[in-house]
Structure 1
Amino acid sequence: MSFPSANEFHWQSLAGLASSRVYHTVAEVGGQMYMLGGCDAAGRPCATVDLYSPEGDRWISLAAMPTPRAGAAVAVLGKQILVVGGVGEDQSPVKAVEVYNTEEGRWRKRSSLREALMGVAITVKDGRALAIGGMGGDLLPRAILQQYDLRKDVWAQLPPMASPRYDANIHLLANKLYVAGGRQCKRPIKAFEVYDTETRSWTTLPTMPCKRSYCGVLWDGAGRLCLLGGLRQGGGHQSSKFTKNVNIFDTSHGAWLKSEDTLPMKTKRADFAAAFLRGRMVVAGGLGHEPSALGTVEAFHPQKKKWERLAPMSVPRCSASSLVIRDRLLVVGGVNQVPSNAHEILYVKEEEYL
């Protein structure tokens, strides 16, 4: 397999958002990007829903969500977008569950969660949504695993995890649901577990090498979990520090690679956009040891076994949402001192995106 060189990656600025937003959620349906909710410039959760149309390089306002929210969990079920939990207008978790039909352009309220939750992680298995963990109104993490059947509009409780958590990193690989890290009472945890959807049982895996939050989380095509950078938790009276370390878990061997078998990034950073693009791990923006957000970008070359600098983003920022559609990385919104309306795309092909 050939990998694109560093100078083949190009950034292009696209139409900005109508209003600056952060903590929104993005989803792809039919090769189009939907942007749901988030916080406005005043920090208020909103109900705004926008669709990006590459044909006209413009944002199209869609019907607003019935419930304003930020940081919602979103799953795509066919042509429908399921929106679960999040933070409401009163800055507390919400239990509302709603579905947007992209063909009809309409919202429907569905069966709510049993309790209000934020920081839920969600994926889809066999046409049903699996929702993992979350934080309740009492600010305590949950260990619950819930399954949602859209056709029946029913939530079912499945066996819980051993470690309660919210904001966990999850990945579905065949019939195995991996749950790595997350947070408990604002502190990152190292817990790593896997749920077998066939036997409906949990197995505890070797813990993550270090406690860290706001790291990049990627799964490669070989079934390996890659943890990039982040903010390492300080011990005792030590302060938390940005890191450029890379840790990789090989699911085929059930073990973390030794540190000498991984290569750190060039720049210490956290809260950045991360993606696999044309076989290369790419990290963009975030926060580091600079007074403001980073605009630097780098990518790992598997054959050369080194990280290489790419062209920087036009607008430095952190907390941006990102999505890969048709071998292109879209980075939208985020924060650079204040919420941003920036929208950029990273691509490899020589022709323009639009």
Structure 2
Amino acid sequence: MDPLILTSPTHSRRCYVSVTVLSNFIYAMGGFDGYVRLNTAERYEPETNQWTLIAPMHEQRSDASATTLYGKVYICGGFNGNECLFTAEVYNTESNQWTVIAPMRSRRSGIGVIAYGEHVYAVGGFDGANRLRSAEAYSPVANTWRTIPTMFNPRSNFGIEVVDDLLFVVGGFNGFTTTFNVECYDEKTDEWYDAHDMSIYRSALSCCVVPGLANVGEYAARRDNFTGLALRDEVKYSASTSTLPV
């Protein structure tokens, strides 16, 4: 096993930071430094092992979430120290500028944000009173948000990723307890499906996709003889309350 390599530190202490990757750079935005919520942002270049400050965001935000779509960085929601945010903004790497986009329909801290298809999805979170089941999708072309069907479970501070052209949400906090629930959304059917739960309760977790893993079979959950195609067909034609086989 390769040893872990210590990289250079960020310019600011950042707890509840939002992180995403674009064009071989790692972007770290906002967060909490122990005193205030931050609007500063920086990016890391692995080749030089250096962090470089970029233009600050319009909003101070911790516990937000970020993703990339069409060569731009999007960050949504979060907490500014006083209230949960419904604002969102986009970063243009060429001009080094942040632009405020249309606000979300709900305030969302502890939100999940992911690029899926041609849209940026904002899922779940905490609006200052309740953990949310609601979700919405942003169109960069129209600069508008539209609501999508609600999840089965309310959740904030959960994992989110796109796998096999399905948007998965994993674990989180439902307002009462940490959860192990997993569900996925299919944009083609515009429906949520239950997936098998994790064996461990997890909140404040992260998910990632590792492409081209040669020994993926050693890590993947058993699918009881379902092929990938059969699994997709089962998802597509089953009712939205059914359980996704694994």
TM-score by length of 2: 0.81
Could you say what secondary structure the match of 1:10 adopts?
coil
Correspondence for 2:180: 190
* CA distance, structure 1, for counterparts of residue 64 and residue 204 of structure 2: 17
1: CA distance, partners of 2:44 / 2:202? 33
Instruction: Indicate how the Cα distance of structure 1 residues 48 and 249 shifts in structure 2: closer, same or farther if over 3 A, else same.
Output: farther
Query: Offset at 1:216?
Result: 6.3
Q: Report 1:159-170 matches (<5 A).
A: 159-170=149-160
Q: Which residue of 2 aligns with 1:78?
A: 70
**Structure 2 equivalent of residue 295 of structure 1:** none
Supply the distance in 1 between the matched residues of 2:161 and 2:17 (Cα, whole angstroms): 20
The aligned amino acid for 2:107 is A
Correspondence 1:69-148 to 2 at 5 A = 69-90=61-82, 92-138=83-129, 140-148=130-138
Is the 1:249–1:255 Cα contact (8 Å) retained in structure 2?
no
Give, in whole Å, the separation in 2 of the partners of 1:121 and 1:199: 21
Question: What is the CA RMSD across the aligned residues, in angstroms?
Answer: 2.6
State the secondary structure of the residue aligned to 2:152.
Answer: coil
Deviation at 1:85, TM superposition (A): 0.2
Question: Which residue of 2 is the match for residue 36 of structure 1?
Answer: 29
Larger gyration radius, structure 1 or structure 2: 1
Q: Percent identity?
A: 23
Q: Residues 167 and 154 (structure 1 numbering): CA distance in 2 closer, same or farther, change over 3 Å?
A: same
* Residue type at the aligned position of 1:32: F
Give the distance between the partners of 2:185 and 2:47, measured in 1 at CA: 41
Counterpart secondary structure, 2:58: coil
Cα 1:207–1:222 change in 2 (3 A) is farther
Amino acid at match of 1:184: N
- 1:19 is the counterpart of 2:12: yes
* Unpaired stretches in structure 1, ≥5 consecutive residues: 1-5, 227-245, 257-354
Work out the CA distance in 2 between the residues paired with 1:210 and 1:51: 33
Q: In structure 2, which of residues 37, 41, 47 is the aligned counterpart of residue 49 of structure 1?
A: 41
1:106 Cα shift? 0.7
Which aligned pairs between 1:146-161 and structure 2 lie closer than 5 A? 146-161=136-151
Matches within 5 A, 1:60-75: 60-75=52-67
Does the 8 Å contact 2:17/2:28 carry over to 1?
Answer: yes
TM-superposed CA distance for 1:125, in Å, is 1.8
Check 1:154–1:21 CA distance in 2 against 1; reply closer, same or farther (3 A cut).
Answer: same
Deviation at 1:59, TM superposition (A): 2.3
Which residues of 2 match residues 324-339 of structure 1 at below 5 A?
none
1:25 to partner: Cα distance? 1.5
Q: In 2, distance between residues paired with 1:216 and 1:151?
A: 29
Distance 1:19 1:93, change over 3 A: same
Determine helix, strand or coil for the equivalent of 2:5: strand
Match of 1:337 in 2: none
Number of residues of Structure 1 aligned to a counterpart in Structure 2: 225
Cα pair 1:120 1:135 within 8 Å, conserved:
yes
Determine the C-alpha separation between the residues in 2 that align with 1:129 and 1:66. Answer: 19
Offset of 1:29 from its aligned partner? 1.4
The TM-score with structure 1 as length reference comes to 0.58
Matched residue type, 2:199 = P
Structure 2: stretches of 5+ with no match in the other structure: 232-243
Q: How does 1:263-278 map to 2 (within 5 A)?
A: none
Summarize deviations over 1:118-145 as a string: whole Å, max 9, x none. 111121122211121111111x111112
Q: Deviations over 1:275-315 (max 9, x none)?
A: xxxxxxxxxxxxxxxxxxxxxxxxxxxxxxxxxxxxxxxxx
Alpha-carbon distance between aligned partners in 2 of 1:129 and 1:58, rounded to the nearest angstrom: 29
Higher relative contact order (CA 8 A, sep 6+): 1
Deviation of residue 200 (structure 1)?
0.9
Residues in 1 aligned to 2:47 and 2:210: alpha-carbon distance in whole angstroms: 30
| Higher strand content, 1 or 2 | 1
